[in-house]
Amino acid sequence: MSEPVARPGRSDVDAPRPVVRPGGASETVARPVDPDVDLSDPEERAELRPSPWPVLAAIAAGGVLGALARHGLVVAFPHEAADFDRATFAINTSGCLLIGVLMELVGSVWAGRRLVRPFLGVGVLGGYTTFSAYVVDVERAVEADAPGTALLFLFASLAAALIAVAVGSGLTARLLRSRDRTRDRTRDRSGDGSRGGSRDRSADRLRGAAHGAGEVRGGR
């Protein structure tokens, strides 16, 4: 007879696990566990995982908005197969610029908001920007005997997208740092003003007390 396989108990599941760090070093890290959930039970363990449906709904809604915006621009600015597709170029460049801005805001201003990045990043900007149309435009330009236009569109779009991400991220990070410095200076000035007001009130009370003591001595 085969021996029964023992299921891991709470102590086994909750026990610290070795974690390998870069460079080969390892250390034991205790995992935080909800004491009311038995991790050996799949149904109870599932309670710790947030539902994916709000994230999927946010991505779908954002994707619809982004794709509609891109379609509207492409229809408003059509082009021939041999021409440089200015609409798709502008869409991808502006979308990458906004992605750079968004990543800075998600990491600082909107940190901890679960649906912001799926909705705006994966959804809106993911539906707005397009890699497929970019590749199709290159292929159509080659088929239309315009290899120069195809190469220009191929490399110009890639370079503009990378530059746009760097510019959007850098400018946003600089603005956020400037905002933080302004807040710190305002906080420091308000703190100095309150401390100065306290010192003035204390000095007034001391002068009043000295004046009262002088009147008492004069009355005597």
The 10s digit of each residue's pLDDT in 151-161 is 999 999 999 99
Q: Could you list the pLDDT tens digit for every one of the 220 residues in the chain? A: 445 444 444 444 444 555 455 555 555 544 444 456 667 777 666 666 778 899 999 999 999 999 999 999 999 999 999 999 999 999 999 999 999 999 999 988 998 888 999 999 999 999 999 999 999 999 999 999 999 999 999 999 999 999 999 999 999 999 999 999 988 888 888 766 555 555 555 555 555 555 554 544 444 4
Give pLDDT, residue 137: 96
Give pLDDT, residue 79: 92
Give pLDDT, residue 40: 75
Q: How far is CA 161 from the centre of its chain?
A: 19
The pTM assigned to this predicted structure is 0.66
CA atoms within 13 A on the CB side of 96: 18
Three-state secondary structure of 116-142: HHHHHHHHHHHHHCCCHHHHHHHHHHH
Give pLDDT, residue 196: 54
Give the integer Cα–Cα distance in Å for 203 and 164. Answer: 58
